[in-house]
Structure 1
Amino acid sequence: MTVTVYAPASMGNVSVGFDLLGAALAPVDGSRLGDCVSVTHLDDGLTLTVGGAWADKLPAEPRQNIVWQCAEFFLKAQGIKSGVALHLEKNLPVGSGLGSSASSVVAAFAGLNEAFGKPYPPQALLALMGEFEGKISGAVHYDNVAPCYLGGMQLMLEQSGRISEALPSFDNWYWVVAYSGVSLSTARMRQLLPASYDRRTCIDFGRNLAAFVHASYRQDEALALSVLKDVIAEPYRAGAIPGFESARSGLAELGMDVTGISGSGPTLFSVTRDPQLAQRAAEWLREHYVCEPEGFVHVCQLDKQGTRRV
């Protein structure tokens, strides 16, 4: 028997919630934007094959692949003596700001858990996902793995055994996401941030995030959009992302409501409630922001399902 699991792309931070807010993405055209992992039972041993558009960007040695390491840990932790054959379909670019490593880790653990009778409950499995994704990004944070696994817009709690909880979403929002084609290291982009922040910045961050959560529950779109801003990372990262600042200005002139950095970039997101405007913004970004052949633009809404068997 083979189990195949799809794990969608995700936006970490969502501007207003640095390391505390994340959202899963679903292109409105029905295409998949995320990685797939297939798990097949073997009598013995562990094998990994890799395909997909971004397979050539991964380590050639299977043991260096995070999906292999997830399987090795899972089999050992569960005392499983039989083996597995894994296949990773790598559909997200590395270093894109779309939760590429999280997507692979989530798909791997979810597929293994499904194939072996779900020995891990969801919160325990999510904790493992965060631990392994942190090996790549340089720190354990759940703003990609939680929405990728659970879907929707997730607020990180990490309290009383609950890692995250879903926020009510604005179902008429369109998220235009554009990957320029440039690869940026998450660890390097985190190094651009200051070691400490002044009191005013901390107050602004807390106020904006609290207001966004409040607006989500009240379904107050105007308030949510007014506070969807990044005072923690964007001031230090914007200049390091080629074309971001000019794209933000151009999208504002088009009439987009707000534009921000997805994760640590270079992917940007821009929000509108007008589906026709979303398509015009996507065309503008293809012409003015995408700078490499590998770049792409998708008009998305939130992926409410999260990780699922396919």
Structure 2
Amino acid sequence: MYRSITAFAPATVANVSCGFDILGFAIDGMGDKVTVSFNEQKKLCVTGITGDGGKLPLEVEKNTCSVAIQALLDQMGTPIGIDIYLEKGLALGSGMGSSAASAAAALVATNTLLGNPFTKEELVPFAMEAERIACGSAHADNVAPSILGGFVLIRGYEPLDIVKLPVPKGIYCTLVHPHIELKTSDSRSVLRKQISLKESTVQSGNIAGFIAGLYTNDFGLISRSLKDVIAEPSRALLIPGFYELRDAIKSIGALGSGISGSGPTIFVLSPNGEIALEAGEKAKDVFHKIGLGADVYVSEVNNRGAFVLG
């Protein structure tokens, strides 16, 4: 039986423009690590956190790792003591699923430590409880792809219905993280409470078109569908350079761009790695002109999800 397990969970892009709270996909290479081990105290304990600049709480009722693990243990009904050590690889408030990656890594590590009593799909509701304390909403469009990998559709929440979608061959993502912090709560506060029937119809068509494009490897359809008429118009105003970057990538063959999660990170989808790299150069130029630093990361879509290291 294992005494200590370390797991890695990847960054994610949620919403994916048209899929507000119901679409997400995983990124390759970037993410968080969590190490869990048994203790004799029969309670959860967050023993340490690195990479967060001292911002994340060690209190078990406030930390996403421990909240997710507690939800798993409550389901099992067995009092078990577990020490938790978190290594943050993702910036806080980045729009890349930072809190979700922590919870996902914690759950996969703990599930392995306990002999894998749950499938990966069954871990998602536990991670959603961590999202509830992180941003006030138990949504799954970050945690599901971080755990499962690939493109994921959250078809419904009552009951939870998750659909793993195909990943078209050759598709790449460029992530652009401008050097500003945008809290999820602030980004949600600007959203409209009501939308028109016309806007709902347009958004529904784009969601359906995007998913159909994934299944048929139709990059043209994916490109035409990467449009958000509900959340993006309000949230884009909080992200300097957003519209400039969207315009800059139109001429290079990129499929489209959007806000990753609640921002401020912007994602660009491309049909190959060369265009994805060029989109990154365009992004650097855009943010340099407006006097704002930005980190650029190019990746294939991660189809593996969270996994145990070693």
Distance 1:98 1:218 in 2: 27
Residue 239 of structure 1 contacts residue 245 of structure 1 at CA under 8 Å; is this kept in 2? Answer: no
Judging changes above 3 Å, is the alpha-carbon distance between structure 1 residues 201 and 235 closer, same or farther for their aligned structure 2 residues? Answer: same
What's 1:302 paired with? 301
State the secondary structure of the residue aligned to 2:126. helix
**What one-letter code is carried by the residue in structure 1 that aligns with 2:234?**
Y
Relative to structure 1, is the Cα distance of residues 170 and 98 closer, same or farther in structure 2, using a 3 angstrom cutoff?
Answer: same
Per mean C-alpha deviation after superposition, the further-off stretch among 183-192 and 154-163 is 154-163
The C-alpha deviation readout for 1:184-210, integer Å capped at 9, x for no partner, is 111211111111101100000111111
Contact kept? 1:15, 1:260, Cα under 8 Å? yes
- Assess if the C-alpha contact under 8 Å between 2:25 and 2:145 holds in 1: yes
**Alignment RMSD (CA, Å):** 2.2
How far, CA to CA, are the matches of 2:173 and 2:225 in structure 1? 16
2:17 paired with 1:20: no
Deviations 1:143-182 (A, max 9, x none): 1111111110001123795521111122212211011121
Q: Is the 8 A contact 1:176 1:282 kept in 2?
A: yes
Indicate the residue corresponding to 2:5 in structure 1: 3
CA distance in 1 between counterparts of 2:292 and 2:34 reads 27
Check 1:73–1:19 CA distance in 2 against 1; reply closer, same or farther (3 A cut).
Answer: closer
Is the aligned partner of 1:38 residue 2:35?
A: yes
- TM-score w.r.t. the length of structure 1 is 0.90
Q: Distance in 1 between matches of 2:4 and 2:307?
A: 14
2:249 match: secondary structure: helix
* Alpha-carbon offset, residue 278 of structure 1: 2.0
Q: Give unmatched runs, 5+ long, in structure 2.
A: none
Aligned residues: 304
Q: Describe the shift of the 1:255–1:152 C-alpha distance in structure 2 as closer, same or farther (beyond 3 A).
A: same
Q: CA deviation at 1:218?
A: 1.9
Equivalence for 2:107:
109
Cα deviation 1:109-140 (Å, max 9, x = unaligned):
22111111223343332112112212212212
- Counterpart of 2:94 in structure 1 is 96
Q: Secondary structure at the match of 1:104?
A: helix
Q: CA deviation at 1:37?
A: 0.7
Q: Distance in 2 between matches of 1:257 and 1:158?
A: 27
Alignment-derived partner of residue 186 in structure 2: 188
Matching of residues 1-310 of structure 1 within 5 Å = 1-26=3-28, 32-44=29-41, 45-59=43-57, 61=59, 64-158=62-156, 163-289=161-287, 295-310=294-309
Identify which range, 265-274 or 251-260, moves more after superposition. 251-260
What is the distance in 1 between the residues matched to 2:127 and 2:198?
Answer: 34
Please tell me whether the aligned partners of residues 172 and 299 of structure 2 are also in contact (alpha carbons under 8 angstroms): yes
Q: Is the 8 A contact 1:113 1:120 kept in 2?
A: yes
Runs of 4+ in structure 1 off by over 6 angstroms are: 290-293
- Contact 2:169–2:217 (CA<8 Å) still a contact in 1? no
* TM-score, normalised with respect to structure 2: 0.90
Which secondary structure does the structure 2 equivalent of 1:56 belong to?
coil
SS at match of 1:265: coil
Structure 1 alignment gaps of length 5 or more: 27-31
The aligned amino acid for 2:30 is L
Q: Are residues 251 and 221 of structure 1, via their aligned partners in 2, closer, same or farther at CA, if it must alter by over 3 Å?
A: closer
Task: Evaluate the alpha carbon distance shift between residue 124 and residue 244 of structure 1 in structure 2; reply closer, same or farther with a 3 A threshold.
Answer: same
Question: Does the 8 Å CA contact 1:55/1:90 hold for their aligned counterparts?
Answer: no
Q: Quick one: structure 1 residues 161 and 238, their matched pair in 2 at CA, closer, same or farther if it must change by over 3 Å?
A: closer
By how many angstroms is 1:255 displaced? 4.3
